[in-house]
Amino acid sequence: MEINRTGVAIGLGVCALVFAVSAQAANRAAELPPTLSAAPSNTPSTVSSADSSTAGAKPNPSTGSDVVIEYPTPEPGATSDFESEMNAQVQRTRTFADTLIGMNIDEVETLAASKGFITRIVERDGESFIVTMDYRTNRVNLTVEKDIVTKVFIG
């Protein structure tokens, strides 16, 4: 059995390079000081341990024992503006999607595009298609039989 010495040398060189770059990045990260600036209310803020009596404060192991990160504690039952808008978009899409059942696929795609919705055929005439699992609040997934929409769901 003959060993390809050039391939082995290249492989070892690549491993050494990756290790050196990783070690250098780790050293640089360890040298960075913790950020002690004020943060917006929806992001964690860094405070000294003297102030750690605040609810939601957690020790920050990467900056040492004298620093904690304080996370805002939401009010029970409160929803953010983002969450409210997301729920409203989901409801708009559901309402629109329910009107599509029984329509011709060409009409559905034209109507959806004109109203700012995205359509995706996930099943056609009994054949299921591979689709991504990302969730889009303005996307309507369609099951089509003989060019007629028979089932819808959002996401």
Task: Give how far Cα 122 sits from Cα of 7, 26, 67, 130, 137, Å.
Answer: 46, 45, 50, 7, 16
Grouping H, G, I as helix, E, B as strand and the rest as coil, residue 128 is strand
Residues of the chain with CATH 3.30.10.10: 81-154
Global pTM?
A: 0.51
CA 114 to mean position of chain CA atoms: 27
Average pLDDT of adjacent 10-residue blocks, the chain of 155 residues: 54 52 53 44 48 50 58 69 91 96 97 96 96 94 97 95
DSSP H helices, 2-142, are: 5-31, 81-98, 105-115
Could you tell me which of 128, 119, 126 has the C-alpha nearest to residue 152?
Answer: 119
How far apart (Å, rounded) are the C-alpha atoms in residues 27 and 18?
A: 14
Contacts 24+ apart (CB under 8 A), 73-81: 80/42
Grouping H, G, I as helix, E, B as strand and the rest as coil, residue 142 is strand
Under CATH, which architecture does the 81-154 domain have? 2-Layer Sandwich (3.30)
Residue 72: CB atoms within 10 A of its CB come to: 14
- Give the model's pLDDT for residue 80: 81
- Give the model's pLDDT for residue 103: 97
- Give the model's pLDDT for residue 54: 47
- Give the model's pLDDT for residue 39: 41
- Give the model's pLDDT for residue 52: 45
